[in-house]
Each structure stands twice: as C-alpha cells, then as structure tokens.
Copies of this chain bind each other. A is one copy, B any other.
Amino acid sequence: MVVILKEDRRQEQMDNLTNWLKSLGIDIHVCNGEHQTILGLIGDTSSVDINLIKALDIVEDVKRIQEPYKNANRKFHPDDSVVVIDKEKDIKIGGGNFQIIAGPCSVESIDQICAIAQAVQKSGATMLRGGAFKPRTSPYAFQGLRGDGIKLLLEAKKITGMPIVTEIMDISQLPLFDEVDVIQIGARNMQNFELLKELGKTNKPILLKRGLSSTLQELLMSAEYIMAGGNENVILCERGIRTFETYTRNTLDISAIPALKTLSHLPIIIDPSHATGISRLVKPMALASAAAGADGLIIEVHNDPARALCDGAQSLTPEAFDDVAKSVQGILPYAYKLN
C-alpha cells in the first residue's frame, strides 16, 4: 500500500499515523520527494481499512498495490481453477471446460421441469437450472415453490442425470440444499456476507453472481469470503450491471470476462438472459461471451405451451435454445484464451 501525504502536515500528525500503522504490524518505508512524501506500507495490509487512511487529514491519497484478495488471486495461483461439478459424469467448469446451464426461471411443476430438462439436455446443456426460492422486487409476486421446488429439481435430476443449480436466499434454507449440486448466490446477495461465510464452510460449488453495481474487485472480495472459509469451488457469473441505458434491462459487461481471468484463476460464466431481459439478444450475447473466453453460460428456457405467446420473453423456447447452443459450438474453437 502506498500512502501519499499532503505537503502541509504537522510532524505530530505524521508520528500519529506511523505509530498507528506500526501498531498494526506494518513496516513503513518513507520516500521523501521534493514536493511530496510517500509512505510505502510493507507487510500484510489486507486488513488495513483503505477508506480510513484515505480520510486522514494529512493524506492526499492511498493506493493499494497488492490486491486485497489472496485466495482468488491469479498471482498466487497462476493456473486456471477447474471446479468439478460431477466427478462421475466428468462435468467440470474452467480451465478449458465450457458448460451450458439451462432451465426455467421458476420451477413450476414436475412436468414442466422434466420436459425442459430433457429438451435442453438434448441440445447440449449439461446442467439444469431452476428457481425454487425467487427474489422478487414485489412482496405480492410469486415467491417460488421454495422447498417443494427443490424437490422437483431433484426429481428432474433423477430422471435426466443432470446436476442442478438453484439459488439460496438465506442461511436458514441451507439444509434444503444438501443434494443440490451448485448453490447459486443471486446478484442481490453478492454482499450478504453472513451467507457467504456460511457457504464457505461447505464444499459445494458456489455460483456467485456479480451485484448490479459491484465492481470486479468487490466480486472477487465476495469470492474471497467463501474461499477464506475453505471452500475453493467458486464460479463467478457476470449478469449485467446497472447503467443509464434503459433499452436493455442491464448492460452486460463482457470485458469482465478477460478482466476477471487476468485478476483471478476462478472460472467465469455469463447469464445473457438476465443481463439483457430481451430474448432476441440472448443469442448474440451468448456468442460474444463465448468468443471473449467465458467458461460457460447460464440461459433461461421455458416450454409452457399455454404461454406460446411468450416467444419474445427473456426465456427462450427449447427450439431457440437449441439454435443458441449449437451456434456457440461454432465459436468455441476460435474463442479468446489468456496466454
């Protein structure tokens, strides 16, 4: 960490600062320039509050040199992490393993989930997603089948053999996730630190979605919460950030793929369905994500014949999904690879 001091400072303030830093076990290298003095902080600064130092009267600015994340940092783990989802079936993600996760927004019935599961599996999806606990903006909207939804997913897993991915919303729901293969943390819970800590104690693969207004560093710090607890099976997921543009529901930040691959060894997948909120944009964004080097996709698919009108919805029909999944295969051999 580098602390740049203001020119007009009293020696007493300077002493207070250095004494306090030393009390945290940090060594200080002072660099006196003509117009400025810079302190190089040496030692483990990951627990130092950069905002506190930045706010000091005598401090012009503070710059972290070493990223505050360790477990998630590629510097200390140069090879891609591979998260194993199902050892027997050899389903894994990262390090060259590309997977498509597909399924409905909400689990609604055994017929619905099984029909979709079988359809997407035929098109090449290797994991089944489906919402049981649904974070809804309105308390009056359908909140998901909850525990029963998970049971239906497990039924579909039994029939198709597909590992299942579903979202947790609160620590108290954890016992219901015993047989779930991948636990999803939604964008709104990316900084639910108590939940992250609890999931760090499990060894389940965790699909961690980026918050709507979270920086890449904050996403990696949330991954770090899980990994610091001992669970290294973290899959990052970009699903659109909030910007001023309103044509798409959110703005899919595809540059997050190579950026996160530079910063971290964790696999990164993309959710083009939620990012755009427009089904006809799912295909081009899926292709772009694959081209930029993503390790996978998570795509919403529905098959409700009674809502045949929903062709244009965020959810694709199985037929449209089939086209997306096959088109992505064309891109993969030419996709970007780091190094």
A residues apposed to B, CB below 8 Å = 2, 4, 13, 16-17, 20, 27, 29, 31, 33-36, 38, 40, 42, 46-47, 49, 51-52, 54-61, 63, 65-66, 68, 135-143, 169-173, 188-189, 191-197, 211-213, 215-218, 221, 224-225, 228-229, 241-249, 251-255, 257-259, 262, 275-281, 283-285, 287-293, 306-315, 327, 330-331, 333-336
Contact = CB atoms under 8 A, between A and B. Distances in A.
B192 A57 contact: no
Given A192-B189, A312-B56, A255 B285 contact: yes
B255 A281 contact: yes
A100 to B, nearest CB: 16
B259 A247 contact: yes
Given A56-B313, A291-B331, 14 more contacts: A16-B306, A49-B141, A51-B314, A56-B310, A57-B309, A192-B192, A251-B253, A254-B285, A255-B276, A255-B281, A284-B336, A287-B292, A288-B292, A331-B334
Copies of chain A in the complex:
4
B31 A31 contact: yes
A213 B293 CA distance: 27
B16 A244 contact: no
B335 A287 contact: yes
B291 A225 contact: no
A170 B169 contact: no
A262 B312 CA distance: 13
Given A254-B252, A284-B257, A197 B291 contact: no
B31 A35 contact: no
A8 B30 CA distance: 22
A247 B216 contact: yes
Given A193-B169, A242-B244, A334-B331, A57 B312 contact: yes
B255 A251 contact: yes
Contacts of A293: 284
B313 A55 contact: yes
Contacts of A251: 241, 243, 251, 253, 255
A157 to B, nearest CB: 25
B47 A138 contact: yes
A35 B46 contact: no
B13 A309 contact: yes
Contact of A65 (B35, B52, B252): B35
